[in-house]
Amino acid sequence: MLTNRSKVVVKKEMNFWERIYLPAIFGGVAVTIKHMFRRKTTVRFPEAKREISSVWRGQHVLKRDEKGAERCTACGLCAVACPAEAITMTAAERKKGEEGLYREEKYASVYEINMLRCIFCGLCEEACPKEAIFLTDRIVPTDFQRNDFVYGKDKLVEKVNERIDVSVRQTPAVTEFKKHKSLSHNR
Ligand code: SF4
Ligand code: SF4
């Protein structure tokens, strides 16, 4: 015997009630009936939607500035910060006449996030010095093919006339930080 915790297992003879199984069956049915009258913890998704937190970290958006130009400058900091290596991008130089399209001289000609890799941690949002990427309250929809979960700029960049409000993610601490222009890296 290696320890004093060993236990001798004895096969106990069943009594009359145990042998007819009826008490155990009624006990099981009673548990089922009790659960039928309890508040349900599931919802009939997608007909019914569960209320989610206002700062839920869902599908990303690549923001445009107030004039409609893409804010992302393809610096790659979000990709470096991403623990899941879900972000890839290709940088390109802005050409003359494209000032209205891209805010900075460098922009992302390709920007992709693999939603199957993403763990929605929000580190890309925190790392971005240009306030270009935010997580939103939108849920990434289901799909059938793995490739369809790689979201490109067509799905990530907000439409000029359909802006996505991310102000709710600007917590009091973030807003307070932004008041100090000397600390701002996005002047
Ligand atoms: S939310 Fe996290 S895991 Fe998803 S892309 Fe951003 S940094 Fe990567
Ligand atoms: S989203 Fe932000 S951090 Fe990522 S490449 Fe663009 S500017 Fe850089």
Which of 55, 62, 87, 151 for mutating ligand 1's site (highest number of atoms within 8 Å of CB)?
87
Cis peptide bond upstream of 46, omega within 30: yes
* Averaged confidence pLDDT in the chain: 90
Q: Which two tokens stand for residue 127?
A: 């790392």
Q: HEC profile for 125-163?
A: HHHCCCCCEEECCCCCCCCCCHHHHEECHHHHECECCEC
User: If you average pLDDT over residues 11-15, what whole number do you get?
Assistant: 89
The architecture in CATH of the region 60-183 reads 2-Layer Sandwich (3.30)
pLDDT exceeds 90 at position 29: yes
Contact present, 125 and 133 (Cβ < 8 Å)? yes
Contact present, 47 and 72 (Cβ < 8 Å)? no
73-111 pLDDT, tens digit each: 999 999 999 999 999 999 999 999 999 999 999 999 999
Q: Is 86 in the pocket of ligand 1 (CB under 6 A)?
A: yes
Neighbours of 78 (CB within 10 A): 26
135 or 1: which leads in pLDDT:
135
Q: Is 20 in the pocket of ligand 1 (CB under 6 A)?
A: no
Domain ranges of the chain: 60-183
Q: How far apart are CA 128 and CA 75, in angstroms?
A: 9
User: If you average pLDDT over residues 44-62, what whole number do you get?
Assistant: 89
Which of 114, 118, 136, 151 for mutating ligand 1's site (highest number of atoms within 8 Å of CB)?
118
